[in-house]
Amino acid sequence: MNYVQRGFFWIAVYLCLVLMPLFVLLLAPGPSGSGLWWDFSIALGFAGTSMMAAMFVLTARFRRPSAPFGIDLVYYFHRWIALVLFVFIAAHPAILVFLEPGLLGELQPSVISWHMLAGVISVVALTLLLLTSLWRQQLKIHYDGWRIWHALLSITALLLAIVHIEGVGNYVSSPWKRLLWAAISASCLAVLLYARLVKPMLLLRHPYRVQQVVKERGRAWTLVLRPEGHSGFPFKPGQFVWLTLGNSPFALKEHPFSISSSAMQSQTIELTIKELGDFTRRIKEVSPGQTAYLDGPYGAFSVDRHPSSDYVFIAGGIGIAPIMGMLRTLADRGDGRSLLLFYAYNTWEDLTFQEELENLKGRLDLKIVYILDNPPEDWQGESGFITDDLLTRHLPSGFKHYQYYLCGPIVMTAFVEKALRRQGVPLPQIHSELFNLA
């Protein structure tokens, strides 16, 4: 199967996982209908709960199902489908109360039953999950703390929703239907155990040691990591890893970074990190010898995935890191294909990898167009934004057949993607890395 077929297969698996419990409940013996909208609201509750359960699978970083899409895209799907499931779950009590306002009386603290209380707390936990995820930065919640709360709230929301289902007993009167929801809970716990216990244990057996912390231009640092007592792992140029530094892999303190080193030299792995947030600002304080753990490789952003005679790379800021990994790999392979790099940065002085990029021109058929926000007075090159005009000036003839790799701030990649589309580049030839997984 190719990537597209595999993608459709895993989408079908996801839909089966989410919808199967709903239709199993239709099998006899079942209650008689209570009215179309009443049963619709119950169906939304069931579907929302199985969608919650599927979230645990989506975020467990299973390599095979995420490979056709790239795990960054799976995380975006996780974010957006969470909004959909929240609407379903919120609509469930809202429709019931609208149809039967007397139900509100059952929620009074003096008379509320344990299973209704479980349902209410589940909705509250889900609401908190949503608010803290959508506005984490505005609420000034630290990323590491947020991850722990995110895990706890999601477990609470799911388990209490299942307690609510079992307690109400509607559609789950027969033992095997109760067993179905018990099996769903058990599967989620198994996935959770795999992600939070088994996987960290495997990482613990494959540690890395920080060999060097190299200062780069533009407030960026390169961590050079060497596998300790094992041979590392093979990866495709452009992929990324989750890095845990100075903590045990059980600590939930991991951050995603692109591999900037060559895939042909897997005896060391380099991650180039710009000082942007709480964690990245502390990278310069890392000392050689420190233990690190790498969970990876992940990602679909790689030249190896889309063979072509010519490639165009478009980088903004530290978005150069995965592209540097691809350029270094192509250079190590002695690749003779034609490469064009558009590299946008604030100033010439801060341009990360400035010297090495110039050196790579000698090893590759590489042309570089620098675009500066604040160019020096004697600057002869491009400045400002990557516009249609700028692309037209530099793209060679035949550019509609090239493969394009975009990495940088999401606003920039969206803008450039539209510009390329306007120039007539087919959408399947435009690939982007979606940073900001946090």
| CB closer to other proteins, 364 vs 425 | 425
| CB closer to other proteins, 351 vs 420 | 420
The CB-of-77 to other proteins minimum distance in angstroms stands at: 5
| CB closer to other proteins, 15 vs 183 | 15
CB atoms within 10 A of CB 25: 20
261's CB contacts (< 8 A; 6+ apart) are 224, 268, 269, 270, 325, 328
The CB-of-11 to other proteins minimum distance in angstroms stands at: 7
39-78 burial string, b = 16+ CB within 10 Å, else e? eebbbbbbbbbbbbbbbbbbbbbbeebbbbbbbbbbbeeb
The CB-of-25 to other proteins minimum distance in angstroms stands at: 8
- 346 phi/psi in degrees, rounded to 5: -70, -60
| CB closer to other proteins, 62 vs 77 | 77
The token pair at 217 is 């231009």
Total count of residues recorded for the chain: 438
How far apart CA 128 and CA 130 sit, in angstroms, is 5
| CB closer to other proteins, 61 vs 226 | 61
User: Under a CB-based contact definition with an 8 Å cutoff, are residues 258 and 322 in contact?
Assistant: yes
The pattern of x and - marking residues 171 through 210 that bind other proteins according to CB under 8 A reads: ----------------------------------------
The pattern of x and - marking residues 5 through 44 that bind other proteins according to CB under 8 A reads: ------x--xx--xx--xx-xx---x-xxxxxxxxx-xxx
- 213 binds other proteins per the rule CB under 8 A: no
30's CB contacts (< 8 A; 6+ apart) are 171, 173
Q: From the list 65, 70, 238, 249, which residue makes contact with other proteins (rule: CB under 8 A)?
A: 70
The pattern of x and - marking residues 110 through 129 that bind other proteins according to CB under 8 A reads: --------------------
The DSSP 8-state label assigned to residue 396 in this structure reads: P
The CB-of-87 to other proteins minimum distance in angstroms stands at: 8
User: Under a CB-based contact definition with an 8 Å cutoff, are residues 221 and 214 in contact?
Assistant: yes
The CB-of-88 to other proteins minimum distance in angstroms stands at: 7
Q: From the list 4, 12, 16, 84, which residue makes contact with other proteins (rule: CB under 8 A)?
A: 84
The CB-of-56 to other proteins minimum distance in angstroms stands at: 17
Q: Is 382 helix (H, G, I), strand (E, B) or coil?
A: strand
Count of residues near other proteins by CB under 8 A: 43
Q: From the list 3, 62, 77, 250, which residue makes contact with other proteins (rule: CB under 8 A)?
A: 77
The DSSP 8-state label assigned to residue 259 in this structure reads: B
The pattern of x and - marking residues 385 through 424 that bind other proteins according to CB under 8 A reads: -------------------------x---x--x-------
Q: Which amino acid is at 221?
A: W
CB neighbour class for 216 (10 Å; exposed up to 12, middle 13-18, buried from 19):
buried
The number of helix segments (H) and strand segments (E) in the chain equals 12, 12
The token pair at 219 is 């407030």
User: Under a CB-based contact definition with an 8 Å cutoff, are residues 264 and 333 in contact?
Assistant: yes
| CB closer to other proteins, 74 vs 220 | 74
Cα angle 426, 429, 430 (rounded to 5 degrees) comes to 100
| CB closer to other proteins, 74 vs 283 | 74
How far apart CA 322 and CA 352 sit, in angstroms, is 12
Contact positions toward other proteins, by CB under 8 A?
11, 14-15, 18-19, 22-23, 25-26, 30, 32-40, 42-44, 47, 51, 69-70, 72-73, 76-77, 80-81, 84, 88, 410, 414, 417, 427-428, 430-432, 434
